[in-house]
Amino acid sequence: MNKKISKLGLGTSNIASLGKSLPYNKAKRLFDLAFDMNVSTIDTSDTYGSGDAERLIGKIIEDKRNNIFIISKVGYPYITLPKSMSPLNQFGKKILQGLKFKKRFKKKYILSGIEKSLKRLNINHLDAYLLHDLSIKDIFVHKDECFEALYLIKKKGLSRFIGISSNDHKALSFTIKNTNVDLIQTKMDFKKKNSSLLVEAKNKGLKIIVNSIFNQTLDHSLDIKVNELLKNFHINEKYKKTILITYCLLQKNIDCALFGTTNMEHLNLIGKGYEKYKVNFSELFAKLENLFK
Ligand SMILES: NC(=O)c1ccc[n+]([C@@H]2O[C@H](COP(=O)([O-])OP(=O)(O)OC[C@H]3O[C@@H](n4cnc5c(N)ncnc54)[C@H](OP(=O)(O)O)[C@@H]3O)[C@@H](O)[C@H]2O)c1
* Strand, coil or helix: 36: helix
Instruction: Note the CATH number of domain 8-218+254-264.
Output: 3.20.20.100
Residue 97 burial by Cβ neighbours in a 10 Å radius (0-12, 13-18, 19+): middle
Ligand 1: residue whose CA is nearest its atom 45: 11
Enter the DSSP assignment of 102.
P
Q: Is the Cβ atom of 127 under 6 angstroms away from ligand 1?
A: no
Mean pLDDT lowest for which of 32-36, 54-58, 215-219? 215-219
In the prediction, which pLDDT does 60 show? 96
In the predicted model, is pLDDT for residue 102 greater than 80?
Answer: no
Distance CA 87, CA 186 (A): 31
**Mean per-residue pLDDT, 95-111:** 81
| pLDDT tier for residue 92 given thresholds of 50, 70 and 90 | low
Ligand 1: residue whose CA is nearest its atom 35: 266
Hey, which of 14, 15, 214 would you mutate to test ligand 1's pocket, going by the most ligand atoms within 8 Å of its Cβ?
214
In the prediction, which pLDDT does 81 show? 61
Higher-confidence position of 186 and 89: 186
Residues 271-291 have pLDDT tens digits of: 999 999 988 889 999 999 999
Contact between residue 255 and residue 208 where contact means Cβ atoms under 8 Å apart: yes
Nearest to 263 by CA among 37, 58, 29: 29
In the predicted model, is pLDDT for residue 1 greater than 60?
Answer: no
Ligand 1: residue whose CA is nearest its atom 33: 266
Determine the atom of ligand 1 nearest the C-alpha atom of 269.
31
**Mean per-residue pLDDT, 175-181:** 97
